[in-house]
Amino acid sequence: MFDAIVIGSGMSGGIAAKELCERGLKTLVIERGRKLEHGTSYTDWMQPWEIPNENMVAEDLAKDYSIQSQCYAFDETTRQYWVKDSDHPYSTPGDKPFSWIRGYHLGGRSIMWGRQSYRLSEMDFEANAKDGHGSDWPIRYADLAPWYDHVESFIGVAGSKEGLDQLPDGAFLPPFALNDGELTLKAGIEKAFPGRRLIPGRTANLSQAQPHHEELGRTSCQNRQFCQRGCSYGAYHSSLSSSLPAAERTGNLTIVTDAIVHSIIHDPRTGRATGVRVTDTSTGQGRTYEAKLIFSCASAIASAQILLNSTSEANPNGLANSSDMVGRYLMDHLTAVSAFGFMPHAPDTYYHGRRPTGFYIPRFRNVSEPGDFLRGYGYQGGVQRMGWRINALSTPGIGAPLKERTRKLGPWMAFIGGFGEMLPNPNNRVTLHPTRKDKWGIPIVHIDCEHGENERKMSAAIERDAKAMIEAGGGTVVGSVADPGVPGLAIHEMGTACMGKDPAKSVLNGFNQAHDVPNLFITDGAAMASSGCQNPSLTYMALSARAAHHAAEFLKEGRI
Model confidence pLDDT, tens digit, residues 432-477: 999 999 999 999 999 999 999 999 999 999 999 999 999 999 999 9
Write out the H or E segment, with its range, that includes residue 214: helix 211-214
The separation between CA 543 and the C-alpha centre of its own chain, rounded to angstroms, equals 14
Q: Is 402 exposed, middle or buried (0-12, 13-18, 19+ CB in 10 A)?
A: middle
10 Å Cβ neighbour count for 161?
Answer: 12
Domains of the chain: 1-158+231-329+426-449+494-560 (3.50.50.60), 159-201+335-420+451-486 (no CATH)
Residue pair 12/523 in contact by the 8 Å Cβ criterion? yes
Closest CA to 115 of 143, 162, 156: 156
Q: Residues 157, 169: contact at Cβ < 8 Å?
A: no
User: If you ran DSSP here, which 8-state letter would residue 243 be given?
Assistant: I
Q: What is the pLDDT of residues 144-177, one digit of tens each?
A: 999 999 999 999 999 999 999 999 999 999 999 9
Backbone angles phi, psi at 352, to 5 degrees: -100, 135
CA distance 485 to 463: 13
Considering Cα of 17, then 230, then 88, then 281, what sign does the dihedral take?
negative
**Among candidates 206, 201, 107, which has minimal Cα distance to 155?**
206
- Rounded to two decimals, the pTM is 0.97
Answer yes or no: are the C-beta atoms of 239 and 281 closer than 8 Å: no
pLDDT at position 401: 76
- Count of C-beta atoms within a 10 Å radius of residue 403: 11
User: Judging by beta carbons within 10 Å of its beta carbon (0-12, 13-18, 19+), is residue 544 exposed, middle or buried?
Assistant: buried
Classify residue 160 as exposed, middle or buried by CB count within 10 Å of its CB (0-12, 13-18, 19+): middle
CA 57 – CA 172 distance, rounded (Å): 37
Count the alpha carbons within 13 Å of 223 in the hemisphere toward its beta carbon. 12
Could you tell me which residues come within 8 angstroms of residue 541 by beta carbon, excluding any fewer than 6 positions away? 11, 12, 15, 151, 155
Q: What is the mean pLDDT of residues 180-199?
A: 98
pLDDT of 408 reads: 78
Residue 394 has pLDDT above 90, yes or no: no
Q: What is the pLDDT of residue 393?
A: 67
Enumerate the β-bridge partners of residue 117: none
User: How many other C-beta atoms are found inside a 10 Å radius of the C-beta of residue 33?
Assistant: 22
Q: Detail the DSSP E strand segments found in 148-284.
A: 199-200, 253-256, 259-267, 272-280
Contacts for 414 with CB less than 8 Å, ≥ 6 apart: 181, 185, 340, 341, 342, 343, 381, 382, 383, 470, 473, 475
Mean pLDDT along residues 174-203: 98
Mean pLDDT of 302-309: 98
The DSSP letter of residue 485 is P
| Rg value, the chain, Cα | 23
Question: Could you count the other beta carbons within 10 Å of the beta carbon of residue 462?
Answer: 30
**Higher pLDDT, residue 407 or 447:** 447
- In the Cβ-directed half-sphere of 346, how many Cα atoms lie within 13 Å? 32
For residue 505, which of 248, 128, 253, 199 has the smallest C-alpha distance? 128
* pLDDT on residue 421: 98
Mean pLDDT for all residues in the chain: 96
Q: What is the pLDDT of residues 63-121, one digit of tens each?
A: 999 999 999 999 999 999 999 999 999 999 999 999 999 999 999 999 999 999 999 99
Distance CA 484, CA 161 (A): 31
pLDDT at 407: 76
